[in-house]
Structure 1
């Protein structure tokens, strides 16, 4: 990017530009060449901007292919540990979710008054005049399940919908799709929301708030505030969790469009303005004509059963939140029921691996934090708990106090396993604990063998690590696959 001073050219103002404008003259830096970074660089170049991409990783495989494609289009791609750029001639910085606010590039941009956007913010600003409304989902746990349920419900209504954002496909790609959508189900992480300032979603939900990603956000207050951004400027509904007071407070603190309603979801009996359960019926007392005296049936808990297994409470809560967002969009009762009936959980989310010798083996490797592990542990009694990995600053005393009466035994693995072991020694010293050495060539073989030695007929062996996976595995999916493979080998012998 050229080193002309601002005085040698007119400073471009990307904040005044939209989809119908040419971005010629805008100098943009895109931080990160993951899925969202690639989408941002490709789109900005297509709009006419001059783009530099920075990524400190050594390019290889798919990332190298992305870099080559962008270079062919005329994007300046700079990769490797020493990659850098001067901000002397820059009008906009677009960041990928993983880059923390403390990154020197962003601090310098703030000092210079250069806007820093996430890919989601860029997507919002590039929506067309007849853009699809966004139904947005965030929370510490359950985001992907809820947004996929929501997408199923919207499709059951006959709408052209897509589950996008943190769930997989970048929002920007969906926004720029030449075939327009009727509505978008958008999963947003706290990272993405931190860099978003002008969203005005049709309806939004914060499913729950538990301490997480504190190393990125700095403290719990900043993390919660990032989640709360999803409610800002909401137009029709702010959906909150009646069982989580923080989510209701975030609604009360939000500056919303006049007429926007607060809608609660609850595993208990719903009051007016809520969606909840009346025995086994999913009951809507929010989007009916006389919500003070009547309710609409949206389905039953049987609609959420899979292979005869009832849905865990946290999955039911996700379904209620998805139903609330869909009803805010005007979806029929029938579509909610049909969408929930057809929905299937992704892999590594409370997935039954097998049942052998009266023992059920469950893979919930996606439970990468304390609150997700708590929800999983509350879905079963008499549990052999498999846990450990990267704690990300979490503590485990409250979790152990909450679930100790359910524990048959515990198997710990991973770098920070001793943090969980210490909590167990303090609060549940009677529970047998087996620690698997992280130096094992195949740690899951030892984990499964240890769990089998603790389990009795009628027990559930539950992989719900409460920790991230990257100390020993490529991802939570890789960890779940290794666990499932080891379970199948063990139960065949």
Structure 2
């Protein structure tokens, strides 16, 4: 659906609403107003946000703070923010009455469609973990090759904020969360390339079940029908996909881009060593293979571009080393929101003394596999915290006795850090890789990472900027 179609729907008596007034919601408002300044709109938001919206002085904007199935059903189209699930009871009831829910991602892709229905030179990246670093690395290598590239999407720049860019990029590197992948299909527009890294249980509170999470994640591939799909052959779910409408390029398999120990290969040809790259963890170096496969799918010389990975600047909150004080190295992996991410973070520091901080908002993800892994290899100490901290602690208690690591419980991040520093006794890594969202204690993972930096004695502003965001 293009933005211009909203005017026709309104002219036929169908109401148009925005649901959510965060950054994505404000971007949707500005994009619609840039094309349709007099379109009657209703904003559905919280009472606190309502005052901000009314202060705009928009005579064609009505603000509503009560969101019920009846309220939602009054609108033909609702442009919702990504964090709002379409699977809530009210939204499901409204959809059954004919209300159509779309997101800003759908509007952006529809606006970029060429006459054949393709968003040319868009490279969409998704996956449970690693998608932000992969998208940023993709943009970095494209720019190193002299191509003006937009680094946008879930990584920190809503697509609708670059609806009408001052400079048209040659390529768009677009990170998509599982909240947004379905919007690409809903737009009716084919992405040029879609990259899928991996799939683990995540965001079950939004999707409702693991099965629906997988289905929603795969929508980018199975329904949006990209011209080229770049898939991880080592992922048990992705490796079984059949995509007859797409040309499939595999990575992490011997005929394509893959790693042998720390060496990067293209088929049987050695390309370079990856151990010294600024990509902490084997999983991040493995995702370099995804980037290079995507570059080949665009018709570019990936072998020539690969060495430019050495000048990549790592992203904040992703295995980010802040520094060392009194023998303790502080590592901020606040973006870690699954137990699998915590395991990957621990693997980076295997062989070193580590105090791991885990726990946060409880979305019901299973921690049994994490606990089982701790029997074979565990850090010096694990400190649990947050809403699901007690559940994780109970799972780990018998394991700690067998494996011989210290298991401690904290009320909050500050106490967890103090316990971790004491457990390290002047030597090792204090690793924040919580394996859970931050909601309740913090607004988001960025705020949690900033507080970790502050408590460790570092300037939060200096560690928070995302290098290369936007068009360059």
Q: Which residue of 1 aligns with 2:280?
A: 311
CA shift digits 1:259-292 (9 cap, x unpaired) = x12x2222xxx422x211245432223xxxxxxx
The Cα RMSD (Å) is 2.8
Per the alignment, do residues 376 and 75 of structure 1 end up closer, same or farther by CA in structure 2, a change over 3 Å counting?
farther
**Shift, 1:68, TM fit:** 3.8
**Shift, 1:486, TM fit:** 2.7
**Which runs of structure 2 are paired with 1:376-391 in the superposition (5 Å)?**
376-381=345-350, 382-391=353-362
Answer with 339-348 or 23-32: which moved more: 23-32
TM-score, with structure 2 as normaliser: 0.84
How far apart in 1 are the matches of 2:189 and 2:310? 31
**Which runs of structure 2 are paired with 1:78-477 in the superposition (5 Å)?**
78-81=63-66, 90-103=75-88, 106-127=91-112, 129=114, 132-197=120-185, 198-232=188-222, 233-249=224-240, 251-252=241-242, 254=243, 256-257=245-246, 260-261=247-248, 263-266=249-252, 270-272=253-255, 274-285=256-267, 295=269, 297=271, 299-302=272-275, 304-305=277-278, 311-333=280-302, 336-381=305-350, 382-404=353-375, 405-429=377-401, 430-438=404-412, 443-444=413-414, 446-455=415-424, 459-477=428-446
Query: Any idea what SS the aligned residue of 2:47 has?
Result: coil
State whether residues 22 and 47 of structure 1, in contact with CA within 8 Å, keep that contact through their aligned partners in structure 2. no
State whether residues 87 and 208 of structure 2, in contact with CA within 8 Å, keep that contact through their aligned partners in structure 1. no
How far apart in 1 are the matches of 2:60 and 2:69? 15
**Shift, 1:175, TM fit:** 3.7
Larger Rg: 1
State whether residues 149 and 339 of structure 1, in contact with CA within 8 Å, keep that contact through their aligned partners in structure 2. no
1:58 aligns with 2:47: yes
Per the alignment, do residues 84 and 46 of structure 1 end up closer, same or farther by CA in structure 2, a change over 3 Å counting?
farther
How far apart in 2 are the matches of 1:396 and 1:335? 42
CA shift digits 1:143-202 (9 cap, x unpaired) = 111111111111112112111111122223334325322111111111112344234211
How far apart in 2 are the matches of 1:153 and 1:315? 15
Per the alignment, do residues 37 and 255 of structure 1 end up closer, same or farther by CA in structure 2, a change over 3 Å counting?
farther
How far apart in 1 are the matches of 2:398 and 2:422? 24
TM-score, with structure 1 as normaliser: 0.81
How far apart in 2 are the matches of 1:25 and 1:409? 59
How far apart in 1 are the matches of 2:81 and 2:427? 46
**Shift, 1:128, TM fit:** 5.2
Query: Any idea what SS the aligned residue of 1:428 has?
Result: helix
State whether residues 53 and 63 of structure 2, in contact with CA within 8 Å, keep that contact through their aligned partners in structure 1. no
State whether residues 154 and 177 of structure 2, in contact with CA within 8 Å, keep that contact through their aligned partners in structure 1. yes
Per the alignment, do residues 486 and 332 of structure 1 end up closer, same or farther by CA in structure 2, a change over 3 Å counting?
same
How far apart in 2 are the matches of 1:57 and 1:141? 31
Per the alignment, do residues 363 and 241 of structure 1 end up closer, same or farther by CA in structure 2, a change over 3 Å counting?
same
Gaps of 5+ in 1: 1-14, 286-293
How far apart in 2 are the matches of 1:361 and 1:458? 11
**Shift, 1:210, TM fit:** 1.1
Higher RCO structure (Cα 8 Å, ≥6 apart): 2
Query: Any idea what SS the aligned residue of 1:102 has?
Result: coil
Q: Which residue of 1 aligns with 2:35?
A: 47
